[in-house]
């Protein structure tokens, strides 16, 4: 891989970390997905920072479980869907005069909910995490 490509993956990794950090605070923004993306980007550019993501106390185990095909803990799925729908409800209130945006937000929320519930495996081995 060229030096420019490694740099691009590295920058994308840090952008993902940034969005993931904001997602920890902001409901509706999927922090875990961004950290999974960051780990992937760092795997292409910096093993040191890939390991850093994997060693993060709350995020690292979820990223490792996802990578190994174990999916998400049931409680995490519930929290993700709940915060996503709280953000969707808030968005529909704010966008209420633009019906086409409301329809798009609700449709995307329904797709996201379906994906989390049906396509992402539930990791039962993590207990109440």
Give one DSSP letter per residue of 33-59, joined into a string: HHHHHHHHHHHHH-HHHHHHHHT-TTT
Task: Kindly report, residue by residue over 7-50, the tens digit of the pLDDT.
Answer: 999 999 999 999 999 888 876 677 888 899 999 999 999 999 99
Task: Kindly report, residue by residue over 84-99, the tens digit of the pLDDT.
Answer: 898 899 999 999 999 9
pLDDT at 75 over 90: no
The whole-angstrom distance between residue 18's C-alpha and the CA centroid of its chain comes to 12
Other CB atoms within 10 A of residue 5 CB? 11
The residues spanned by each domain of the chain are 1-68, 72-129
Is the whole model's pTM more than 0.85, yes or no? no
Helix (H, G, I), strand (E, B), or coil: what is residue 127?
coil
């Amino acid at each position: 891989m060229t030096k420019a490509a490694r740099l691009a993956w590295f920058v994308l990794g840090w952008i993902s970390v940034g969005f993931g950090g904001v997602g920890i605070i902001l409901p509706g923004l999927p922090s875990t997905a961004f950290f999974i993306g960051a780990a992937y980007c760092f795997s292409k550019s910096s093993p040191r920072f890939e390991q850093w993501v994997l060693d993060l106390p709350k995020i690292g185990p979820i990223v490792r479980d996802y990578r190994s095909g174990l999916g998400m803990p049931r409680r995490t799925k519930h929290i993700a869907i709940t915060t996503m729908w709280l953000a969707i409800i808030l968005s529909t209130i704010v966008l209420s005069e633009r019906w086409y945006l409301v329809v798009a937000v609700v449709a995307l929320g329904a797709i996201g909910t379906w994906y989390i519930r049906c396509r992402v495996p539930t990791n039962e081995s993590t207990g109440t995490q």
